[in-house]
A and B are shown apart, each in its own frame.
Chain A
Amino acid sequence: MKQRLTLADLASVFAELTGESKKASSDFLREFFALVASALEGGESVRIKGFGTFKLTEVDSRKSVNVATGAEMEIPGHRKVSFVPGRELADAVNEAFEMFEPVELSERVTDDMLDSTEEEEPEVEVEEQVAPTSAQEVLEEAFEEVKTESPEELNEEFDEAVEREEIRERNEAIEHAEDRIIEEEGIEEEVESPAEDEEISEESRPRRRFGWGFLVGFLTAAVVAVIAMVFFFDWRPWLALDKSPENIAFSDASIVNSDTLSVPVPTEIVKDSIAATAEDSLSVSGSKVVPTRPSDTVRYDTITKTRYLTTMSREYYGNYHFWPYIYEENKAILGHPDRIRPGTQVVVPELSKYGVDPKNPADVEKAKRKGTEIYSRYR
């Protein structure tokens, strides 16, 4: 606990300062406080220039509970007295900390970085009777590095921070970044002692900037690599296990024959309202050797850059919303519906197989839902 001084102690200090006798000093002080007290009693705040203000605050009554009995009780309205030090007094008290100024923070500083400065406190609240100056010395020592940094270096840090500010959003990787930075940049300004944690947190801010940059760079490169792989690798054939090699062969063949294929195929057998292909009823889909399908005639079509499942759906079924059924029929060889490789040959089934009718609005809804469901498989 701090040491408690009494009025007498205060009086002796006062006597020193003023050159008055101790007796006179203590009389004055006693008088002083008595006066303040009586003024306060009278309901008036007391403002003393160069010292401070003793002010009164009104508090309304409030409900509370008697802690002993648990019964409700009311705390009546009353006044409270408080003291606000004047400017000079406050500054004088704060002398030990005078060297500090508010520092503007970059956006990267988080609360846990700031916590490291808590350790300063014990040094300030000195328990023995130490002259004020030594407390100051200790503090000065502890904050020495920080102080020398102050305007210039912090400005640099701030500028760097501003530059990189756009890129960073996350806080979790700060520690990782710190580790990397320590490796990369050497230990020159590394310090162990806790009193200099603040220094670390301030100085390593620019280093954190570097770490961030590398991290983001690596991630971007990785993402780009993955995307490149997706585009350049054709992994469709690996999925065509069920449908067997024919489809692969057909894919190749159909690339060549795509034109001839797509035209003769749409022989309408079902209740479709396709107008375009009038002439094509002649050729039968059996022009290709194909694994046999139950009942309905097999229709093939090929995806191209301009010919999608929806295109086929519109042609064969009269409504593009029914593409999911073409998809389902061929799902073994298809991946993401928006990413079907041009040249992929698909079987266009009869809708009767799925029991849906393009003319039926309820079925249209059903088809749409199926489409959503297919997409959701790839979420």
Chain B
Amino acid sequence: METLAERLGTDEESIAFLTSALARSLTQACGSGQSVAVAGFGTFETKVRRERVARHPATGRRVLLPPKAVLQFRPSAVLKQKVKDLPEEKS
């Protein structure tokens, strides 16, 4: 697992700020159900999950989960290709 921190090219420690900014901008862009496509990487979409019935794992009671919007990422073909082949060891 590679955490962000210093591992970013030319930038310095303002990474944290920037990444949260990235997150926020992504959110804002995706806000009203739009998707963001990054060439050669993939697209981020928002999807709505309907409310559903689930069981509380501890009590066993049925619970109604509210609908929600989730962010979904679909890798582009290019990325998939790059990632595809297995090296020997995994992280």
Interface positions of A (Cβ within 8 A of B): 2-7, 9-10, 13-14, 16-18, 28-29, 31-33, 35-37, 39-41, 43-52, 54, 56, 58, 77-83, 85-86, 88-90, 92-97, 100-105, 107, 109, 111, 114, 117-118, 120-121, 124-127, 129-132, 134-135
Chain A residue numbers with a CB within 8 Å of B7 are 35
Nearest CB in chain B to that of A40: its residue: B83
Interface positions of B (Cβ within 8 A of A): 1-4, 7-11, 16-46, 48, 50-54, 56, 61-73, 75, 79-80, 82-87, 89-91
Chain A nearest CB, measured from B21 CB (Å): 5
Contact check, A43 vs B16: say whether CB atoms are below 8 A apart: no
Q: Which of B20, B73, B86 contacts A82 (CB 8 A)?
A: B73
Chain A residue numbers with a CB within 8 Å of B56 are 104
Q: Which of B2, B45, B84 contacts A2 (CB 8 A)?
A: B45
Chain A residue numbers with a CB within 8 Å of B39 are 6-7
A5-B34, A7-B39, A9-B29 are known contacts. Are A100 and B67 too (CB-CB below 8 A)? yes
Chain B residue numbers with a CB within 8 Å of A3 are 34-35
A4-B43, A96-B69, A131-B32 are known contacts. Are A50 and B64 too (CB-CB below 8 A)? no
Contact check, B4 vs A80: say whether CB atoms are below 8 A apart: no
Contact check, A83 vs B73: say whether CB atoms are below 8 A apart: yes
Contact check, B48 vs A124: say whether CB atoms are below 8 A apart: yes
Contact check, B70 vs A85: say whether CB atoms are below 8 A apart: yes
Q: Which of B9, B31, B35 contacts A35 (CB 8 A)?
A: B9
Contact check, A37 vs B4: say whether CB atoms are below 8 A apart: no
- CA separation between A39 and B8, bound complex, in Å? 11
Contact check, A105 vs B9: say whether CB atoms are below 8 A apart: no
Q: Which of B36, B62, B63, B90 contacts A5 (CB 8 A)?
A: B36
Can you list 23 contacts pairing A with B, beta carbon distance less than 8 Å? A2-B35, A5-B34, A5-B35, A6-B39, A17-B25, A18-B17, A32-B8, A43-B87, A49-B19, A51-B19, A58-B86, A58-B90, A81-B75, A83-B72, A90-B70, A94-B70, A97-B69, A100-B51, A103-B63, A104-B63, A105-B61, A105-B64, A114-B53
